[in-house]
Structure 1
């Protein structure tokens, strides 16, 4: 049996109740598909303990934490100190997800902006990458990320990127990364794939955002980390590459951005 190329799911939510009944099997299927690392994202800091526990219980799993913009008005405003304290954990590898979402929660845009700037400062202080969620907020997102970068450098990935070409160009000017989710594999996403074709290939990651956004042929079902391979297969087609080369490329990109995860892996080997 041929061993699949190793690949990383850079963004999933393994703590969500969708996985409570079969988390062991989900992670086992990911490993069988070549997904040797997963970053599980905490979206509410009060749930950090359970996300950390998953990372501690499963060797392939790393974690990150922040306040999701859609929850910013419901959760206590995080402090820089609260977030940076989490970074002391050896498998905590990124800050977020944070960002702006004006599609569902435009009424809380002011608190979202304040929360975003706090997370940026935490990323600056820890040297860990920032994970950004952006929806229907392109102008404010580009402005804040650029302003803050001028005030002090930090690194960032635009997770599940499905925004405008203008936002893509703005963040690429800051040398940030863009992540391809299952959306990029949908038949009607050719315009989005065209945007990605113009992204420097050393700035591309892949993810599931599971349990959401399952790529074909699983669309409409629960997504899981194993399916990042399906998104990556479509990404390989998008860039006219072999899947093995695409996997190797995104592994190098992940290791560069998520350097703490790369160091942890190296130390374990």
Structure 2
């Protein structure tokens, strides 16, 4: 039994005839380049084919509209494109499509927030700033919190974000940032005195852990905490980048403009 016409119409309609990953129009110069990919393969030997499924494998719920290139990528890399990830990509894409028509003004507000944030935060460099943790960190990482808090004061109407998926990603990102930065900017109790965890910035703009003034056990504990918080932050940061790239192509992630006096 093949895919029924009602299922095909629903899939193409809710996806607006575009690849759920790259947003490419699946009709190129009157040539149909779209493919209805199975999230769980039709046969057990296919990609993700051994996963359990309640509905018919040819049902809308088990299909995702993709371009030919991404269909190949999804099926050749099932360890990355898991059932859960594909359902999430599909849901986010369909929500983005709906937002253009159901709440265009809300989408405009979200885009304004993102553009302002990217303009004043060196967003594409954040992984680089944290690369040498737990030993050192670039002071520019703090622009994330500074600009976020300034935005809440200057443009309180733009946050929380209207797109629930975008808000979830951004919340995890900003929460991960604060958990990491609170350790970097925090203090450790050493024999009744409060010792800063990191030094003041050097002439290159780097803060270094105050290993000279912290006992070995304290340094070890800080290292462990920083490794965990850094991993969580980078994971949330990467997920936010992927989401924005897929769903908010109007936003230039590299639009940062250094403040000039």
TM range (shorter): under 0.3
Whose strand proportion is higher, 1 or 2? 1
Query: Larger radius of gyration, structure 1 or 2?
Result: 2
TM-score (normalizing by structure 2)? 0.22
TM-score (normalizing by structure 1)? 0.22
Whose helix proportion is higher, 1 or 2? 2
